């Protein structure tokens, strides 16, 4: 069966690093077009510099902060104007905060609470409120949000992070019901994945081991998450919606 990804067009938010970057690169390699945004100008420049010449016209890139509702809405409409039909959205922009793994809930400042919730919950609200507006995406579109295995369980010294990921999963599941099948909405829940974000946590916290023993005893790769995200974006997953897909080496087994 030919891949249903070729010639499709997707918006990827937070697509200039880690799992988002692997998703952008794989979509382009499989013949899709991508509108990518990220808050990091440096990461976006690196991504654009790495594109094969035949892919440069297939990638529309802008610096956008997902927490800025009007900026996300403008970016989505610019992508629509640039490419026409849009077949789906994947949102990778998220944070563990500045004290993940080190601060109990009573040690977390209000400023930190607002930072995490604004990015991990309001960011998704901005994406869904513009992206699922009836008529914006093509028929049979798919939206994928990146949660965490901590969308479904507590994180020792990461209560606000876990709360934000639980909230986002609730929003995804509710949106799947509200769209009544005109668009599918799913969440991917990564375990420990080797990305710049994870490496920064390792550098910050001694013995950072959020999932101590997994049946597959290693960290996952960004590509392994991208593969599942792309499956959920594609028509191959046409009867899957409102779901949460673990990509965690069996951490939840």
The footprint of ligand NAD (CB under 6 A) covers 13-14, 16-20, 38-40, 43, 65-67, 92-94, 96, 119, 146, 148, 190, 192-193, 195-198
Neighbours of 52 (CB within 10 A): 10
Q: How far is the CB of 156 from ligand NAD (least distance, A)?
A: 15
Chain centre to alpha carbon of residue 94: 7
Residue 249 near residue 218 (C-beta atoms within 8 A)? yes
Q: How far is the CB of 253 from ligand NAD (least distance, A)?
A: 17
Q: How far is the CB of 225 from ligand NAD (least distance, A)?
A: 8
- The residues, any chain, with a CB within 8 Å of residue 42's CB and separated by 6 or more, are none
Q: How far is the CB of 57 from ligand NAD (least distance, A)?
A: 22
Q: How far is the CB of 132 from ligand NAD (least distance, A)?
A: 19
Cβ nearer to ligand NAD, comparing 119 with 232: 119
Cβ nearer to ligand NAD, comparing 183 with 247: 247
Minimal CB distance to ligand NAD: which residue? 94
Residue 166 near residue 145 (C-beta atoms within 8 A)? no
Residue 39 near residue 94 (C-beta atoms within 8 A)? no
User: Distance between CA 76 and CA 116 in Å, rounded?
Assistant: 23
Coil, helix or strand at residue 200: helix
Cβ nearer to ligand NAD, comparing 92 with 241: 92
Cβ nearer to ligand NAD, comparing 71 with 240: 71
Angle between helices 222-233 and 18-29 (to 10 degrees): 60
* 111 burial level (CB within 10 Å; 0-12, 13-18, 19+): exposed
Q: How far is the CB of 139 from ligand NAD (least distance, A)?
A: 28
User: Distance between CA 137 and CA 134 in Å, rounded?
Assistant: 7
Cβ nearer to ligand NAD, comparing 138 with 197: 197
Which residues are registered as beta bridge partners of 194? Answer: 221
Cβ nearer to ligand NAD, comparing 4 with 125: 125
Coil, helix or strand at residue 242: coil
Q: How far is the CB of 127 from ligand NAD (least distance, A)?
A: 10
Cβ nearer to ligand NAD, comparing 4 with 172: 172
């Amino acid at each position: 069966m030919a891949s249903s990804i070729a010639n499709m067009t997707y918006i990827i938010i937070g697509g200039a690093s880690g799992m988002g970057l692997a998703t952008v690169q794989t979509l382009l390699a499989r013949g899709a077009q991508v509108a990518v945004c990220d808050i990091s100008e440096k990461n976006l420049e690196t991504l654009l510099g790495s594109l094969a010449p035949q892919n440069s016209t297939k990638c529309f890139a802008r610096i956008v902060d997902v927490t800025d509702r009007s900026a996300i809405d403008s970016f989505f409409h610019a992508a629509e104007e640039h490419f026409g039909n849009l077949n789906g959205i994947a949102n990778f922009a998220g944070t563990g905060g500045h004290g993940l793994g080190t601060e109990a809930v009573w040690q977390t400042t209000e400023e930190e609470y607002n930072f995490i919730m604004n990015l991990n919950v309001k960011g998704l609200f901005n994406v869904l409120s513009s992206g699922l507006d009836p008529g914006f995406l093509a028929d049979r579109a798919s939206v994928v949000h990146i949660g965490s295995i901590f969308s479904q369980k507590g994180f020792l010294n990461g209560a606000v992070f876990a709360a934000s990921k639980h909230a986002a999963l609730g929003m995804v599941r509710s949106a799947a019901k509200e769209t009544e099948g005109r668009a599918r909405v799913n969440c991917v829940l990564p375990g420990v994945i080797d990305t710049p974000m994870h490496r920064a946590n390792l550098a910050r916290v001694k013995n950072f081991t959020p999932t101590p023993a997994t049946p597959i005893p290693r960290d996952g790769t960004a590509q392994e998450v991208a593969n599942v995200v792309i499956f959920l974006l594609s028509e191959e997953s046409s009867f899957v919606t409102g779901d949460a897909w673990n990509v965690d080496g069996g951490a939840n087994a």
